[in-house]
Structures are given as C-alpha cells and as structure tokens.
Amino acid sequence: MLTTNPFDPNGLDGDKLREECGVFGIWGVDNAAGFVTLGLHALQHRGQEAAGITSYDAGQFHSHRAMGHVAGNFDRDDVIRMLAGRAAIGHVRYSTAGGPGIRNAQPLFAELAEGGFAIGQNGNLSNAMKLRRTLNRQGSIFQSTSDTEVIIHLVATSERSNMLDRLTDALKQVEGAYSLVVLTPEGLIACRDPLGFRPLVMGKLGEATIFASETVALDVVGARYLRDVEPGELVLVNDDGIRSFSPFEKVAPRPCIFEHIYFSRPDSIADGMSVYEVRKSIGAELARESPVDVDYVVPVPDSGVPAAIGYAQASGIPFELGIIRSHYVGRTFIQPSHDGRLQGVKLKHNANSALIDGKSIVLIDDSIVRGTTSVKLVQMMRDAGAREVHMRIASPPTRHCCFYGVDTPERAKLLAAQMNVDQMRDYINADSLAFISIEGLYRALGEERDPAQPQRCDACFTGAYPTVLTDLNEKDGGSSLSLVASR
C-alpha cells in the first residue's frame, strides 16, 4: 500500500533541499591535491552534488570544481597535475535540488587586494542574508548564492592588515555554524565556530598538517589524528609551523548531536567517541526503552546497521539482513523530488523475502524525516510476507528544521512536526513505532542532558536553537533571494 502524504497530496515535493558538506585541507607535502582527492573520497558521504579542490603553488592558485562525485572528476592525472603545489583544500557538497549548481561549488576563490583567498565551508550561517544585503548596498557583487561568499566579502572589506586578522574580523560578524578551511599565501587556516556545531579534526602526515571534517579522511591518507580543532579556534599552518588563536568570546560548545546519529561515518571518531560505538549504544538504549517480542532485528541499511546491532545485542533477538541495499545508488535524499525519492527507495532497497516470509520483525532506522523511507520499507516487508512489522528509530522525532548545516525540509514536511507517534505509526502502517527519548540519546553518549543548557545542539528534536536565527526572524523584511548553505 502506498500511503499518500496528507501534507503533500500531489507527491510534488518542491522544497529546496539544503546541503551538508565535507572539507579537507593539507599544508606541506608534494602533490597536495592528490591527498585532498583521497580525503574527499572518504568524505563523499557528506556531499555528493559537487566537489572541488584549490591548490597553492609558488604564488599561484589552481582550482577545479565539478558537479558529481570525486571519483571520475578528481582521480585523474590531468586534473591532479594541473592542481600543483604543496598546499591544497577541498570540499564536497550535498544536493541542492534546483540550485544553481557549479557556481556554488566550493572551494570559492577570490583575488583580494592582498592576494588569493580560497575557502571551503561546512555549516550554515544564520545571518548570511542580512549581511549580504548590507554588503550589496555597499557595492559588493556576488558571484554565487552561497552563504560562504559572504565571508569572502567581509574579508575583502576588512581594514585589518593580514589574512588571519581579516578572517577573524569577518567571522566576528557571522552567526551560525562554520567549520572552515581557508588557503591564502600566508598559510592554511582552519577554523571552527565558537559553538563547534560541525566537526573539524587535525592530523599529521610526516611534516604535513591536515584538517578534515572527519577522522576517516585522515585514515585514508595514512595520517595520524592529532586533535579536534576546538570550538572558536583558528589554526594557522605555514612553513613557520602551527599557531593557534582563540579570538572569540568563550561559550559552552554545542556540537551537533545528529553527526553521531546519522551524518558522520561509523568508522570516524567524533568528539573523541567512536561513532559506531555510540550508534550501538543508542540501539541498546532503544531496546531497553522500547522492547518488542519479534523473530528478527532488521536494520535499514546502511545508516540503521550499528543501532540495530546494539538493539539485537541488548535484546538477545537475532540480527538479520532482511533488507538488502544496492550500493550503486546514492543517498535517498539526493533525489530532488518526492516522486524521485520514492523511486530512489525502490532502487536502493530490496526485501530479503526468503528470510522475512512468515516472520515478525523490528526494523531499525536512524531517523524519520518526511516518512517516505519508512512507508516504503514497512510495505516492502509486508509484501515479502512479514507477519508483524515494528519500527524503532534511533533518534527522537525530528520536529524542527536545522539551520546549522544538516539537510532538513521545511517544517511542514517533517512528519513528526505534523503528527504524534500514534498517527505516525498509522501513517507508516507499522504494528508499533517508537523513538529513543532525548534522555536515552544523551545516555548513549555517556551524558546526562542538562535541560537548562544542553551540552549539544539537539534543536532538530527539541527546538532549543543555540543562536538567534537572524535571517529566519527577518525573513519578511528581506529580499526574495534565498541563500544556499554550505553544509
């Protein structure tokens, strides 16, 4: 049975998807762009719409950006030869359905009065529109609709004398989430916003210094993890060494909790914790909070697998692969339309009917956003002969939009913003449905949630946004242009 979404009866999901991103930067090694290519391969899950690399070689910048995956676009001799130099930064970018494509691909580059400036961002600035309007009025001419370009114009118009100070000046004016890699003739700069929304790690490969969104990108080049770039820290690397700066007022960090649930790769270490182990712990908590008597625990591959292992281990119910995933299809969200997503789900997952037939199962997924995936998969399990299909979700209901770099549709399309859990269970046609509690989620991270001052950004579940949302609040007063974020 294909249920019609009452909030999108025509199935025409015209909302603009925002993107998440991954960044990588390296200073001090021959053929730096080759290392960036490898790093971007490992970060490909963070963005599949476009990729780009900018290198710096003896006073010259070289840049290549392409739509699509790293494979095929960057692991080519001609491209890597063109991207000469001992320093380079790279970026992978998530889907923006209907977005302007290549002109928003990063790294963005500008020739400033003081020399070249290349920037790659993971995050989303929540006052970019307001700043852009002011800059426009002052004569800035924008080349893209990316929020990251605002930073370039703020750097360009800063009165400070060196790039690091100009960047600091710029960043003091922006609000929201940014983990940045910046390449200038003065060195490679990495920076994380004061709340540390998005991850950024630092590593060493011989003499070379590396920054990357996740530790998997260090692993792939054989680099050693040194430490996280701290929230509010700027690190400058050049041939004189590594220097750290903390120019912002210190605030309690609020790293994104969703990185642990879905976004980071399970083999990464995030906030000092194994993403895989955390996901297993979430599954174990879920089993304790919402047990169910079934034959098999079945993960929604791949994102539900670690939580399903945890659920199976804690409950003693066998873990089985009841859904097989084709690895030749991208993430469901990359599909630009609702219809496209339905197709994508069909292409991506198939029932292991021989296993499922006549059995009761609990499906484990990391999250329900629009509900499209759950509707399809529950039905797929029923069509395969499942006797009972229960569903357990390794995150609390996603009730609020993210303005800090994780792709969420507008609030009206978030299933949990429109329905309570019983209604959602009926909508997805499951025998039972349960989500982990917010407290259980923090427990899985080894923490106790402080409701007055949560240790993490969990706004997608709670609505407790850690910053003012300037652009959102001023929406009606602004222009009709909507900026795309650099997630």
Only one residue has tokens 């970018």, namely: 93
344 binds ligand AMP (CB under 6 A): no
Q: Give the other-Cβ count within 10 Å of 357's Cβ.
A: 12
If the CB atoms of residues 89 and 369 are measured against ligand AMP, the closer one turns out to be 369
Shortest distance, position 410 Cβ to ligand AMP, whole Å = 12
Four-residue CA torsion sign, 103, 78, 46, 122: negative
Among 104, 335, 372, 486, binds ligand AMP (CB under 6 A): 372
Ranges within 215-254 binding ligand AMP (CB under 6 A): none
370 binds ligand AMP (CB under 6 A): yes
Stretch that binds ligand AMP, among 124-132, 145-153, 270-278, 329-337 (CB under 6 A): 329-337
Task: Calculate the dihedral angle through the C-alpha atoms of 174, 175, 180, 183, rounding to the nearest 10 degrees.
Answer: 0
Task: Please name the residue ranges forming H helices in 43-127.
Answer: 77-82
**Which is nearest to 440 in space by CA: 395, 397, 485?**
395
Instruction: Tell me the CA end-to-end span of the chain in Å, nearest whole number.
Output: 35
If the CB atoms of residues 246 and 326 are measured against ligand AMP, the closer one turns out to be 326
Give the integer Cα–Cα distance in Å for 20 and 17.
Answer: 10
Shortest distance, position 331 Cβ to ligand AMP, whole Å = 5
95 binds ligand AMP (CB under 6 A): no
Shortest distance, position 153 Cβ to ligand AMP, whole Å = 28
Size of the site for ligand AMP (CB under 6 A): 18
Among 55, 122, 184, 373, binds ligand AMP (CB under 6 A): 373
Give the integer Cα–Cα distance in Å for 192 and 194.
Answer: 6
Shortest distance, position 390 Cβ to ligand AMP, whole Å = 16
If the CB atoms of residues 247 and 266 are measured against ligand AMP, the closer one turns out to be 266
- Active-site residue, 457 included: no
Pairing type for strands 201-205 and 241-245 reads unpaired
**Which is nearest to 49 in space by CA: 109, 116, 94?**
94
If the CB atoms of residues 284 and 393 are measured against ligand AMP, the closer one turns out to be 393
Shortest distance, position 395 Cβ to ligand AMP, whole Å = 9
Shortest distance, position 345 Cβ to ligand AMP, whole Å = 7
If the CB atoms of residues 118 and 424 are measured against ligand AMP, the closer one turns out to be 424
Element (H, E) at 36: helix 32-42
- Catalytic, out of 21, 191, 402, 457: 21
List phi, psi (to 5°) of 201: -115, 165
Shortest distance, position 171 Cβ to ligand AMP, whole Å = 25
371 binds ligand AMP (CB under 6 A): yes
Ranges within 298-317 binding ligand AMP (CB under 6 A): 300, 303
DSSP secondary structure letter of residue 229: P
If the CB atoms of residues 99 and 187 are measured against ligand AMP, the closer one turns out to be 99
Shortest distance, position 334 Cβ to ligand AMP, whole Å = 8
Task: Please name the residue ranges forming H helices in 395-463.
Answer: 415-418, 421-428, 438-444, 459-462
Give the integer Cα–Cα distance in Å for 372 and 362.
Answer: 18
Ranges within 401-430 binding ligand AMP (CB under 6 A): 406-407
If the CB atoms of residues 332 and 470 are measured against ligand AMP, the closer one turns out to be 332
332 binds ligand AMP (CB under 6 A): yes
Mapped onto helix, strand or coil, the DSSP state of residue 33 is: helix
Stretch that binds ligand AMP, among 42-50, 57-65, 289-297, 325-333 (CB under 6 A): 325-333
If the CB atoms of residues 149 and 458 are measured against ligand AMP, the closer one turns out to be 458
**Which is nearest to 33 in space by CA: 85, 105, 91, 99?**
85
Residues facing residue 122 across a β-bridge: 179
List phi, psi (to 5°) of 375: -55, -50
Q: Give the other-Cβ count within 10 Å of 399's Cβ.
A: 16
198 binds ligand AMP (CB under 6 A): no
Give the integer Cα–Cα distance in Å for 52 and 62.
Answer: 11
If the CB atoms of residues 109 and 404 are measured against ligand AMP, the closer one turns out to be 404
Mapped onto helix, strand or coil, the DSSP state of residue 185 is: coil
367 binds ligand AMP (CB under 6 A): yes
Q: Is 176 left (phi over 0), alpha (psi -120 to 50) or beta?
A: left
Stretch that binds ligand AMP, among 126-134, 141-149, 212-220, 328-336 (CB under 6 A): 328-336
**Which is nearest to 261 in space by CA: 249, 250, 273, 251?**
273
Shortest distance, position 253 Cβ to ligand AMP, whole Å = 21
The residues that are catalytic are 21
Residues lying near ligand AMP in the complex (CB under 6 A) are found at: 262, 300, 303, 331-333, 365-374, 406-407
